[in-house]
Amino acid sequence: MTLQDQLIKYMADHNNNNIEIARKTGVAPDQVSNIVKGKETPMVNVKRLSDKLDPAFEQYVEYKICECGEKFIPTYQHRNYCSDECSDYFRKHGRSKPEPEKRSKPKQSIAEFMGGKSYGERQREYLLGIQKGQRMGIR
């Protein structure tokens, strides 16, 4: 049974509509409607359903695990910490994730790439499809 089916069943059993469910839980009516339609909804809303309506909704809540080891529900998608204190601590003392690799230097410098020519000459050769050593003959 999905979250959608569970909510529809609860609404039928208790003779509630979307607006009444929204009032009881503190979730916006359009979010309740999205759940009924089967669309994605933030985990915070699902947690409110389980807290205010029925503990059976708890099985649909997806938790993240903070670097300190505590489970939490992110308030937005890219939140990786359970609290502001954890966020500040791991920013100051470093993360357990490895640092991204630094980019290496280019294989040739700009002067070598341009081959002693001006930008306009290089652009003309590029546009005309001329390669090194070729000359265009005029007909």
Give per-residue pLDDT as tens, 31-44: 899 989 988 888 88
What span, in angstroms and rounded, lies between the C-alpha atoms of 124 and 36?
A: 61
48 falls within a domain:
yes
DSSP 56-124: GGGGG---EE-TTS-EE--SSTT---SSHHHHHHHHHH--SSPPPPPPPPPSS-HHHHHTT--HHHHHH
Same domain for 49 and 85, yes or no, is no
Same domain for 56 and 71, yes or no, is no
What span, in angstroms and rounded, lies between the C-alpha atoms of 60 and 47?
A: 8
DSSP state letter for 136: P
Q: Give the type of residue at 108.
A: Q
pLDDT attached to residue 106: 67
Segment 55-81, tens digit of pLDDT: 888 888 888 888 778 887 877 666 777
Same domain for 48 and 77, yes or no, is no
* Number of domains present in the structure of the chain: 2
Give the domain range for residue 51.
3-60
Same domain for 14 and 44, yes or no, is yes
Can you tell me which residue has the tokens 């230097």?
105
Same domain for 7 and 56, yes or no, is yes
Same domain for 52 and 69, yes or no, is no
138 falls within a domain:
no
- Own/partner long-range contacts of 67-72 (Cβ < 8 Å, ≥24 apart): 67/95, 67/96
24 falls within a domain:
yes
Confidence of residue 96 (pLDDT cuts 50, 70, 90): low
75 falls within a domain:
yes
Segment 5-40, tens digit of pLDDT: 888 898 899 998 889 999 988 889 998 999 899 888
